[in-house]
Structure 1
Amino acid sequence: MRRNLRVAAYAVCVRDRQLLLARSPGPGGTPEWVLPGGGMEHGEDPYDTVRREVTEETGYRIEVTGLLGVDSRRRLFRRRGLTPMTDHHALRLVYEAEVVGGELRHEIGGSTDFAAWQDLDAVPGLTRVRLVDVALRLWRERPADGRPAAPPYPGG
């Protein structure tokens, strides 16, 4: 079995009751909203990762104001045809941040194609990845141990 670890850093930027999100083409071509952020490069500090990724995906420069928590998710899957199973472990650091410069723009040639501020009340109605809900729970609850009080998704 193939094993894969992906470490990534994401930002929760809330301003005027709106959340900054980016749109990803999603699996099967169905667009889904994601937090701005992404994978760490080898040797990169996660603090630098989140600042770089937010700028790449939204055009904004941010100041990290705190670490909200860590989301760890593991799943097994098979890629394309007869390849061996992959044991994928996603470790995601979720930061709180505020916009300090730049202008909203969309990423070109990257993993997202659109960036926008979304009303917090509208987020539950959006097609979004699970991490958006996890991050908003961390932002609202601010647990001392960096984990929401209960799993935000079935099965833990």
Structure 2
Amino acid sequence: MRRRSRVAAYAVCVRDGQLLLARSPGLDGTPEWVLPGGGVEHGEDPCDAVVRELAEETGYDVEVTALLGVHSSHRLFARRGLRRPVDHHGLRLVYTARVTGGTLRFERDGSTDMAAWHALDAVPGLRRARMVEVGLRLWRERPPTGRVFVPAAENG
């Protein structure tokens, strides 16, 4: 079995009771809302990565204001055909960020196709990735360990 690790950085941007989200094709191809952010390039500081990813996915310039926590995910992905299964470990750094400039726009030829602000109370009704709930829990609870447990049932 092949092992793979991925480090990513995401931001919780809340402004006037609204959360900034990006839309991505889900694992099954059905669009879902995600926290803006993504993979940290080799040698890149995670703080710089989240600023870069937000600019790419939303058009906004942001200032990182705090590290909320780290989410660790361990999953086995079965592959079809001749591909071997993958033992995947994801480390996701979750920050808060404040928009400082730029204009909301959609990413072209990237991992997302849309970005939008959503009322916080409307988020539970959205089709969303689990990381949205993880990020919101970290933002609301600010646990001293920087860790929250979000069961799959809360995935939305």
TM-score range, shorter chain: over 0.9
Mark the runs of 5 or more structure 1 residues left unpaired by the alignment: none
Question: How many residue pairs end up in the alignment?
Answer: 153
Alignment RMSD, CA only?
Answer: 1.1
Which secondary structure state, in structure 2, belongs to the residue aligned with residue 53 of structure 1? helix
CA deviations over 1:2-61 (Å, ceiling 9, x no partner): 000000000000000000000002233210000000001110000000000000000000
Match of residue 26 from structure 2: 26
The answer to whether the Cα contact below 8 Å between 2:130 and 2:152 also exists between their aligned partners in 1 is no
Which secondary structure state, in structure 2, belongs to the residue aligned with residue 27 of structure 1? coil
Taking the aligned partners of 1:27 and 1:4, their CA distance within structure 2 comes to 17
Taking the aligned partners of 1:50 and 1:154, their CA distance within structure 2 comes to 25
Match of residue 96 from structure 1: 96
Match of residue 153 from structure 1: 151
Please show how residues 56-135 of structure 1 align to structure 2 within 5 Å.
56-135=56-135
Q: Stretches of 4+ moved more than 4 A in 1? A: none
Taking the aligned partners of 1:141 and 1:125, their CA distance within structure 2 comes to 21
CA deviations over 1:100-148 (Å, ceiling 9, x no partner): 0000000000000000000000000000000000000000000111012
- Report sequence identity in percent: 70
TM-score by length of 1: 0.95
The answer to whether the Cα contact below 8 Å between 2:24 and 2:33 also exists between their aligned partners in 1 is yes
Taking the aligned partners of 1:16 and 1:140, their CA distance within structure 2 comes to 15
Taking the aligned partners of 1:89 and 1:27, their CA distance within structure 2 comes to 16
Mark the runs of 5 or more structure 2 residues left unpaired by the alignment: none
